[in-house]
Amino acid sequence: MAYAIHATKPGGTDVLETVEFKPEAPASNEVQIEHHAIGVNFIDVYIRTGAYPWPVEQNLILGCEAAGVVQAVGSGVSGFREGDRVAYTLPNGAYSTHRNINISHVVHLPDNIDYQTAAGCMLKGLTCYYLLHNSFKVEAGHKVLFHAAAGGVGLIAGQWLSAIGATAIGTAGSDEKCALALSNGYADVINYQTDDFVAGVKAFTEGGMVNVVYDSVGKGTWPGSRDCLKRHGTLVCFGQSSGPVEDFKISDLAVGSLYLTRPTLFHFVADRDWLEKAAAEMFDMIGSGKLNIAINQTFDLKQAAQAHEALESRATTGSTVLIP
């Protein structure tokens, strides 16, 4: 029987409920995907807890990335057939065994990309793509600070930055996580639970500081992230795992004529040309061995609550995947 994990209202993990359903035939321009692997992301936690606005009135199926097999196609669909291996990233709806989805969101999987890898990189890897290519164009020789370096996005970013030829400095919340990040492309990793990361960046760069800071931690790393930037540097704020930054003033950027952006992946993947190009480049990087997508935790789909608890409590590294 098909089932999905519903959240009935914002709250703790106890709001997650397993609900059986009978899949409907896909509508026009939709395919029905039988999911084989579903990615868990911190955005799922923000939405479940109410930190981000609740998107619908009542029941919500969480989950923003998945991979699987096309089981049926609706009218008007071209380019996808029953049996195709596919993946997507889209806000909500993925914590489910089956899903009907508009083909504009779906990409084909190359033969050498397995379902778990795809579910671990459609959101996190494409996020790295836009962070390093669009929010700020990282070039060889740039110095970069990337917070939460041992996390899902962080482990992919370190490898990608290294492939570009940038010098990546990471932060992470334990010595074990620092060691893991160091083996994933980072030149230096600072334990920001025990050490002052601004001083660490200053020491490593011999006072030169960095061209760009990628900050998904928020409250806990502001204003230190700003203080790690060179003059004219860029702060890319793309998350708030420790809570929102609440005491920011535009004049805070005047200390170094700094740039600030607050991007979100879904504005990039909405552009079909961007999605196809970025996904193809990412799959090539994975296929050629430049990027390894570390699936360090797997849970049964019905254990989505445990997966959330692990992610929220900082117990995970790399990507977390639910298996239906």
Residue 62 in contact with ligand NAP, rule: CB under 6 A = no
Written as six digits, the tokens of 16 are: 């997650």
- Residues in 113-132 at the binding interface with ligand NAP, rule: CB under 6 A: 123-124, 127
For 252-256, the CB contacts below 8 A with 24+ separation are 252/223, 252/226, 253/226, 255/226, 255/227, 256/229, 256/230, 256/231, 256/232
Residue 304 in contact with ligand NAP, rule: CB under 6 A = no
Q: Name which of 242 and 303 has its Cβ closer to ligand NAP.
A: 242
Q: Residue of minimal CB distance from ligand NAP?
A: 151
Residue 299 in contact with ligand NAP, rule: CB under 6 A = no
Closest C-alpha among 122, 57, 54 to residue 85:
122
- Minimum distance of ligand NAP from residue 84's CB (angstroms): 26
Residues 6 or more apart whose CB falls under 8 angstroms from that of 195 comprise none
Residues 6 or more apart whose CB falls under 8 angstroms from that of 53 comprise none
Residue 136 in contact with ligand NAP, rule: CB under 6 A = no
- Residues in 265-284 at the binding interface with ligand NAP, rule: CB under 6 A: 265
Rounded Cα distance between 174 and 190, Å, is 9
- Minimum distance of ligand NAP from residue 239's CB (angstroms): 2
Residue 245 in contact with ligand NAP, rule: CB under 6 A = no
Instruction: Supply the DSSP symbol for 173.
Output: S
Residue 308 in contact with ligand NAP, rule: CB under 6 A = no
Residue 159 in contact with ligand NAP, rule: CB under 6 A = no
The one among 316, 321, 322, 324 contacting ligand NAP by CB under 6 A: 316
Closest C-alpha among 160, 99, 101 to residue 127:
160
Return the CA Rg of the chain. 20
- Residues in 67-96 at the binding interface with ligand NAP, rule: CB under 6 A: none
Rounded Cα distance between 242 and 221, Å, is 8
- Minimum distance of ligand NAP from residue 159's CB (angstroms): 14
Residue 158 in contact with ligand NAP, rule: CB under 6 A = no
Residue 38 in contact with ligand NAP, rule: CB under 6 A = no
Q: Where do we find the tokens 């994975």?
A: 286
Strands 30-40, 65-73: pairing kind: antiparallel
Closest C-alpha among 59, 78, 52, 75 to residue 19:
59
Q: Name which of 77 and 148 has its Cβ closer to ligand NAP.
A: 148
Q: Amino acid identity, residue 245? A: V
Rounded Cα distance between 174 and 193, Å, is 7
Residue 177 in contact with ligand NAP, rule: CB under 6 A = yes
The one among 41, 116, 167, 211 contacting ligand NAP by CB under 6 A: 41
The helix or strand, by DSSP H or E, that contains position 158, with its residue range, turns out to be helix 152-164
The one among 173, 200, 224, 233 contacting ligand NAP by CB under 6 A: 173
Residue 322 in contact with ligand NAP, rule: CB under 6 A = no
The one among 68, 152, 185, 233 contacting ligand NAP by CB under 6 A: 152
Rounded Cα distance between 189 and 204, Å, is 10
- Minimum distance of ligand NAP from residue 244's CB (angstroms): 11
Rounded Cα distance between 35 and 98, Å, is 6
Under the rule (CB under 6 A), what is the footprint of ligand NAP?
41-43, 123-124, 127, 148, 150-154, 172-173, 177, 216-217, 220, 238-239, 241-242, 263-265, 311-312, 314, 316
